[in-house]
Structure formats: C-alpha cells, structure tokens
Amino acid sequence: MQTLLLSASDSKTAAAAANLIMNGQLVAIPTETVYGLGANGLDEAAVAKIFEAKGRPQDNPLILHISGPEQIELFCHHIPQKAYDLAEAFWPGPLTIVLPAKDIVPKRTTGGLSTVAVRCPDCDVTREIIRLSGVPIAAPSANISGKPSTTTAEHVRHDHDGKIAAIVDGGSCRVGVESTIVDLTEARPRLLRPGGVTPEQLLEVLGDLVVDKAVTAQIDKDEVVKAPGMKYRHYAPSEPVVIVSGSREKAAEYIRSHFEPGDRVLCFEEELPLYEGCDPLSYGKEADVNTLSAGLFAALRELDDPSIHQVYARCPVGGGVAYAVQNRLKKAAAFHIVDAEEEA
C-alpha cells in the first residue's frame, strides 16, 4: 500500500482523511501531544488494524478522540459533573478522561474493559477530521508498540510507511508527551498517566486526586492495573537506559567515570559542555521544561540504535510538566535510577 502524505495546511486534507477513516482505513493524525494512529473507533475491523500495525497487545485499550464535551454522552454513561468541569477547564487539550462506556463502543476499542477513555485534542485539522467523518477516532500513539512515541510525521513514516493509508503532517507536536489520563469511574479521581495537564492543575478543578501506583513504580506483568498499558515496557530505545540523578557536577563526575566507548549521554542543553568527548545529546533546556517534553521522544528515537551499549540520562526534578517527563524517562529506563550524590 502506498502511504499518502497529506499536509495539514492543505484545505482538502481533512475531507480526504475523513473519507479514509469512514472507509475503515488507518490514518495517522497530528495532535498537540504526539501523533496518533487513527481509525473509526466504532468499527471493530478498523480498530483491529491499529493493533496489528502497532504490534499492540489486545488488552491495551485505545483512547477515543472526540470533537468536544457534547460528544462525551454519546459514548459514556454515569458521567459525573467533574468530567464536564475537566473538559471545560482543559479541552481542547492534553487531557484524557476515563468513564463508564456505553455499549456502542466495541470491546476491541476498550480492550475488553467496561470503561472508555475520551479526549478532545487541541489540533484544528484533527478535530475537523473527527467532525467530517462523523465517528470518534480511536488512536493510540503512532509508534510501534514499546518504542518511543511519534512527535513528527517523519517518525510515523519511519514506523508505518507502506502499512497505513495516510499520514496527516501537522508539524512537530507542541507538548511532546502523551495526554494526562484521569480515571473518574471510582469514588476518588485517579491519575493514571501524567502529561501536559499537570497534577497541580487537576487538583485545582477536582479538589482531590489519587496517583495510581503505575505512575511511580514498575508494574509486574501479572498485576491487575487500572491502565493496562502501564504494565508493558514503554518508550524504550533498544539499549538499556539509566537515569543519573543529583547535582549537575556530581552527575557529570559519575557519568564521566563510568562512560565507555559505545555509550551515550542524554542531557540538558546547559550540560553539554560537561560531557565533551562523551557524544552527548541534548533534549532541551533544563530552564524550560516545555522544551524537554517537546524534545524527549525525538531524542529517545535517535538513541534507538543497536550499536549503542548504554544511555546515561539526566531527568528534570519537580512537579508540573517535569512530572510527566520524569514518568516517561523512568519508564524508558525501566525505573533504573542511580543517585550520583550517594555514589560519590
């Protein structure tokens, strides 16, 4: 199959992409977080193609992308006021809400769960595709399962050229890490995945938030978890990644003394001079966490190279968007963290 590359700025793109979606095809769509691999979320056969293209485990549910809060009730029931409060505060934007699913949503889409995740992306062309196709678009991140997510059309082409009908090129994704996921199906709201909408912002609207264990620790394959995706290895380049925490100087001391040929260093732009001779790669500025979230996956993809032995990574500290960057890096490192202050 020839994969069409459609430009988001072309006025015919939304209609062409919507037609492909209505015909049961796969179309990669841009969003403000990462590119998604989209299909008609109500069409089991189309959804099955997503799992096949990604090599995704069948029990890992998909997010339904909708055009606005008014569509929530089409696919969910028992909707608490909190869901509308969140939508009002953060949609369109990087927030996904988990609610009880209506029967119209196929079990293939929900990975067999009785709940469904919905989100309204902050991307004009993608919302237009949803509106024109008349269906919710199920879309996981467009990467091959387990690999770092796709934040450019080129990343998607690399993973799926010849396997999907089209890619809508909307440029680089602004946020760069996937949406925040909040589960509203229990008595207390639960954070399943941190993202561009921060825990602090959520608390302001919800007044209460439980952080799921999967956010902060490695989950065992056999454990029962709220977000099935969390138990799988994620975002990982082919070689092991270790996070080195601690001050700039102590971390550089530790990394430089352990560094061997074939290793790489993933660091902040401010730290590049400290790693001369160690082939450092910067993913953004420590002083501007938004550049780190926007640059993380492109850097991890660049480091996905079998000739690399080991990656030493520097991770931002603190809350806000840094909390999401920490989560993705820790998962890429399978929670392997060395504290350079203790090692010194």
Binding site for ligand TXA (CB under 6 A): 31, 33-34, 36, 60-63, 96, 98, 110, 113, 115-117, 119, 121, 139-141, 178-179, 181, 192, 226-230
Tokens of 260: 């061997």
Q: What does each C-alpha distance from 16 to 28, 44, 103, 332 come to in angstroms? A: 13, 21, 29, 36
Counting DSSP H helices and E strands in the chain, the numbers are 13, 16
* Closer CB to Mg ion, 96 or 141, in the complex: 141
Which DSSP letter does residue 188 get? S
Residue nearest to ligand TXA (CB): 229
Q: Which does 106 bind (CB under 5 to 8 A by kind): ligand TXA, Mg ion, none?
A: none
Residue 343, CB half-sphere, CA atoms under 13 Å: how many?
A: 18
Contact of 189 with 96, CB cutoff 8 Å: no
Instruction: Compare residues 81 and 224 and give the one whose CB is closer to ligand TXA.
Output: 224
Tokens representing 124? 């004009």
Q: Which is nearer to ligand TXA, 64 or 266 (CB)?
A: 64
- Rounded distance, CA 29 to CA 233, Å? 24
Please say whether the beta carbons of 143 and 150 come within 8 A.
Answer: yes
Q: Per-residue x/- mask for Mg ion, residues 47 to 86, rule CB under 5 A?
A: ----------------------------------------
The tokens for 83 are: 């869901």
Please state the closest distance from residue 135 (CB atom) to Mg ion, in A: 21
What's the closest the beta carbon of residue 271 comes to Mg ion, in angstroms?
A: 28
The CB-of-325 to Mg ion minimum distance in angstroms stands at: 16
Determine contact, residues 255/238, Cβ cutoff 8 Å: no
Using the structure block, give the residue that is written with the tokens 């056969």: 45
Least gap, CB of 18 to Mg ion (angstroms): 23
Assess whether the previous peptide bond of 92 is cis (omega < 30° from 0).
yes
Q: Taking contact as CB under 5 A, which single stretch among the options 73-81, 134-142, 208-216, 283-291 is the one that binds Mg ion? A: 134-142
58 or 247: CB nearest ligand TXA: 58
Confirm or reject binding of residue 141 to Mg ion (CB under 5 A). yes
From the list ligand TXA, Mg ion, none, pick the one residue 108 interacts with, judged by a Cβ distance below 5 to 8 Å according to partner type.
none
**Residue 96 binding Mg ion, by CB under 5 A:** no
CB of 64 to ligand TXA, least distance (A): 9
Binding of Mg ion at residue 180 (CB under 5 A)? no
Q: Which is nearer to ligand TXA, 198 or 282 (CB)?
A: 198
Cα distances from 39 to residues 137, 163, 165, in angstroms, run 5, 13, 10
Interface with Mg ion (CB under 5 A)? 141
